[in-house]
Amino acid sequence: MISRFRPYFRYLRPQRGLLIGAIACGILAGVASGFGLPYMVKKVFPVIFAQNAAPLTLWHLIQYTLWIPAVFVVRGVATYLNTYFIQLVGTRVLENIRLDFFRKLQVLPLSFFQKNSTGDLLSRGLADANQLQVTLTTVANEIVRSPASLVGSIGFVAWTAYTEQGVALVLVTLAVVPLAVLPIRYVGKKLIKRAGRIQAELGGVTGIFSENLSATKEVRAFSLEEREIARFGRASQTLIRAQMKFVKYEKALTPLIEIVSAVGIAFTLLYAYKVHLAQDTFITLITALYASYEPIKKLGSLNNELKRGLGSLDRLEEVLNAPVAIVDAPDARPLARAQGTLGFEQVSFSYHAGEPVLRDVSTVIPRGTVCALVGPSGAGKSTFANLVPRFFDAVQGRITLDGHDLRSLRLADLRRNIAVVSQDPVLFNDTIANNLLIARPEATRSEVEAAARAAFAHEFILGFPAGYETIVGERGARLSGGQKQRLALARAFLRDAPVLILDEATSALDSESEAKIQAALTQLVVGKTVLIIAHRFSTIRDASMILVFNAGTIAGSGTHEQLYAANALYRSLYDRQQGSGA
């Protein structure tokens, strides 16, 4: 079972100096407990409580009595240093585990996040990573410390028993020690299934929590407060039941070991009576024997910890070992500034096997073309656009940029040549200036302000007391929808990429702002290739090229006038919207 954790002991290597010090202190504490305390009982108590012995001198009395605090000082200091060093190592290990987990999330394809809830991924990155850290440091510490204490105490028992009564007493005294392992095996089997269940249920609770916090407006708008409380309560109760099933067996381990230990001590007492063993020798043996059961209990707890850690490890490995589908080819070529000609050659794509979203799509979008993508919902417009920055890769066919297969280009270079403005733009909890600089970190303040002016965002930015240093809040919570979208557009202006993707980019703007931005876009798109996904025909009728999508295929291509005259689907979509007054 420990072999499952061996690949992750690499997190301990940078901390090996601290870890060796912690283990050394642990061994010292274990020997002080397992050997020092029984030895103290054997050597000190008989002298102090001797009935007919000559009185001790003051110096000898001090020597004997100081043995007691000396053992406990060594034991206490060593235990403290062991605990402190282990906690320090554990904190650093946790940092590295979470960093690797977070690093992996940054390169996983978007399809992975469509299959896994945000709350569950949060639970894996926080709770499961924390559990793995506890398991690694506990195993690294107790795998040496507890056996050292056990060997010390058993060694003392064997030595004392042999010197007093020979091999027979050694066998009687130690016979019960192997029996104490049986509860560990029994409880371990019960725990291994329940450990993973706890972490899974914790992920469910975290998911509901996260989902609720991201939908506060909807919860209040639809009066869902009581429903959400009930839903969270049910998930919490399920988690509690899973936790209590684990606790039921975990907490039974120590009493079971102590009962077995008590039976062993009772048999030793019977044997001591039969062979007329001296009381002081018996007390010494019992002290050492009892000391041997403490590390056995810790080893049992270590077994429980391994079971719990395995549950977390399984959940973490689902992310850490998840395939990274969108990667650079081994011979990927660099790309400077692209010209912007896009080509789709018999491209097919599906999110799920057997459910194609795009079917054998072929088209060429020349550089400098403002291309609008229209069609019913679910026709494949957004998927078509998302294939360009390689958010997904085509299942069949190929997509080219200036004649180069996208998969032959370095991913970072490809995406540096593309600016994306989505329907629901995300702003980070940072200043407005820093949110804009994401597009081009080396941009000057004057360039940032110029981009904001182009997106008609400069005036409302200056309306804030802190101006460009205003903190926008989580996901831009302190801004209106229109303000967030203008900042997202300003980010695209600042990036000045040769390929621009606008996915409903003006949907949250009022008509006046939209008209101004359309005028600005007229200047922005000069020399650039632009993909516009919009349901409002007022934003696309002047596009130089329009692609009409239907059921994953391109059902028509041309200008507004050409399509309105020759394409029934386009004409019906346009007339329906014009008739509704949109």
315 & 373 share domain = no
Q: Into how many domains does the chain fold? A: 2
In this structure, are strands 404-405 and 396-401 parallel, antiparallel, or unpaired? antiparallel
Any domain includes 124: yes
Least confident of 197-206, 223-232, 480-489, 509-518: 509-518
Q: Report the range out of 201-205, 269-273, 569-573 with the highest average pLDDT.
A: 569-573
110 & 165 share domain = yes
Higher model confidence: residue 105 or residue 39?
105
Any domain includes 335: no
Burial of 418 (0-12, 13-18, 19+ CB in 10 A): buried
pLDDT classification of 582: cutoffs 50, 70, 90: very low
Residue with tokens 């994401």: 438
pLDDT classification of 449: cutoffs 50, 70, 90: very high
Inform me whether the pLDDT recorded for 133 exceeds 50: yes
Any domain includes 333: no
Q: Are 405 and 331 in contact (CB under 8 A)?
A: no
What is the mean predicted confidence (pLDDT) over 477-494? 85
Residue with tokens 């039976």: 263
The residue segments making up the domain with residue 51 are 2-320
270 & 358 share domain = no
What is the mean predicted confidence (pLDDT) over 185-202? 66
428 & 531 share domain = yes
475 & 573 share domain = yes
Any domain includes 334: no
445 & 316 share domain = no
* pLDDT score at 519: 65
Laid out side by side, the sheet with 553-558 consists of 418-421, 499-503, 529-533, 370-374, 545-550, 553-558
* pLDDT score at 554: 93
One-letter amino acid identity for 372? A
Inform me whether the pLDDT recorded for 442 exceeds 70: yes
280 & 384 share domain = no
Any domain includes 123: yes
CA distances from 193 to 10, 125, 203, 245 (A): 26, 21, 16, 10
Higher model confidence: residue 21 or residue 46?
21
| Residue (of 284, 197, 279) closest to 244 by Cα position | 197
227 & 352 share domain = no
The per-residue pLDDT of the chain, averaged, comes to 79
* pLDDT score at 128: 82
Higher model confidence: residue 261 or residue 324?
324
Inform me whether the pLDDT recorded for 177 exceeds 70: no
* pLDDT score at 2: 60
What is the mean predicted confidence (pLDDT) over 313-336? 86
66 & 96 share domain = yes
2 φ/ψ angles, rounded to the nearest 5 degrees: -65, -30
Residue-wise pLDDT for 454-468, tens only, equals 888 898 999 999 999
500 & 353 share domain = yes
Inform me whether the pLDDT recorded for 182 exceeds 60: yes
Inform me whether the pLDDT recorded for 198 exceeds 50: yes
pLDDT classification of 408: cutoffs 50, 70, 90: very high
Residue-wise pLDDT for 328-347, tens only, equals 888 899 999 899 999 999 99
Residue 54 CA to its chain's centroid (Å)? 69
Residue-wise pLDDT for 234-267, tens only, equals 888 888 888 787 777 767 766 776 677 677 667 7
What is the mean predicted confidence (pLDDT) over 534-550? 81
356 & 244 share domain = no
